[in-house]
Amino acid sequence: MQKRRTQVGIVGAGPAGLMLSQLLAREGIDSIVIENRSRAYCEARIRAGLLEQGSIDMLGEAGVGARMHKEGLAHDGIELRFGGQGHRIDIKALTGRNVMIYGQHEIVKDLNAARIAEGGQIVFEAGDVRIHDFSSKAPRITYTHGGEPVEITCDIIAGCDGFHGICRPAIPAEAITLYDHPYPMGWVGVLVDAPPVSHELVYSSTPRGFALFTMRSMTVSRLYLQCGPDEDIAEWSDDRIWEELELRLDGGSDHKLPKGPILQKGVTEMRSFVCEPMQFGNLFLAGDAAHIVPPTGAKGMNLAFADVRRLSRAAADFLKRGRREGLDLYSQRCLKRVWRAQHFSWWMTTLMHSFDTYNAFERRAQQSEREYVASSAAGAKTLAENYAGMPWAWDED
């Protein structure tokens, strides 16, 4: 068996794991990233694409923001559409911050390129990845690569391997509490070779269900339709998708739906999930391994970056200066932002989606809430503040 040594073993080469490795390198901390998929697969996965101001700033500080600033689409607001009318929420005017569209897969490409150029260690296509002894001072990661077994000894393990990864299930069930809230709907998501409906995101609520009109660039659109939670994508023909998108744009004369070839389509489940605490011994969970939010609030990748920002600082404080307080309080401090994002994402989901279980009273109350947000400065500011992301200073120690 090949034996290796590093300071931080990172499981998962998604945005959380790669960003953590990049931040640690800037602190002079050695890490190895272990990923069971290929580099090509990781860089091709189309996922989230909206960055809060704090995440925008963080990518720049990490030395991987150049292409984002060149190719990303800065947005100052969003539109809520209901009752056949659009209502713009001016995020920039209300908060002094903006958001940016820049695809998660592009961020993964940038981080991979940076880590490899700087001599960072990323092991792709690792098999049978397991973590061991993470309640001790010498945790281990074992895996196979090229048919050869490998063991990594480290000081800390970072579980950045997503909701279906191996790290969270390794924690004793009695040591954690899982908060899980599935929603009675999913999203049909399509990637389309066509320009976007609008230069900003459009959240549309109709009696037929919710739709989101967003983009990955000014020539490629990302479009979503509310559907049942267990729908088969095979039941959604291209013609059916275009018909529903037209209807759920709600007949607005100020927007037209450009059409083009559908490049990808699939169904996304909707759930809210939190693992508490986000740590056990010397194992620390980050990103989707610790929490899932419905995509309505655009918080998933941003929460992952907030987690690893805190974890990188706490790890550096421990490994360079012997101070463990940041690691011991990692979960407690992360969860403040996590639960704020959870509430906002739940609120946005219930605000804009149709619910078959709602009675007439609940539907009218939901309509009143939408009208309040669209017409009240206080309501609009609450949405804008949460959508742009709470300032990073909000959860400083």
**Cross-strand pairs, 247:** none
Amino acid at 76: D
Name the nearest CA neighbour of 273 among 348, 346, 180. Answer: 180
Selected catalytic residue, list 105, 255, 299, 353? 299
Tell me the C-alpha distance between 99 and 91, whole Å. 8
Selected catalytic residue, list 102, 183, 203, 330? 203
Contacts of 353 (CB under 8 A, 6+ apart): 183, 185, 205, 209, 210, 226, 296
Residue that has been written with the tokens 């880590």 in this structure: 115
Sign of the Cα pseudo-torsion (303, 168, 113, 192, in order): negative
Helix (H, G, I), strand (E, B), or coil: what is residue 303? helix
Q: Could you confirm whether 179 is annotated as catalytic?
A: no
Tell me the C-alpha distance between 57 and 51, whole Å. 10
Tell me the C-alpha distance between 301 and 369, whole Å. 27
Q: Could you confirm whether 75 is annotated as catalytic?
A: yes
Q: Could you confirm whether 295 is annotated as catalytic?
A: yes
Name the nearest CA neighbour of 95 among 380, 297, 395, 394. Answer: 380
Query: Is residue 229 within 8 Å of residue 61, measured between CB atoms?
Result: no
Q: Could you confirm whether 203 is annotated as catalytic?
A: yes
Q: Could you confirm whether 143 is annotated as catalytic?
A: no
Name the nearest CA neighbour of 27 among 282, 319, 261. Answer: 319
Decide the pairing of beta strands 209-215 and 279-280.
Answer: unpaired
Selected catalytic residue, list 102, 183, 224, 387? 387
DSSP string, 82-107: ETTEEEEEEHHHHHS--EEE--HHHH
Selected catalytic residue, list 75, 109, 291, 353? 75
Selected catalytic residue, list 255, 295, 330, 353? 295
**Which residues have a catalytic role annotated?**
75, 203, 295, 299, 387
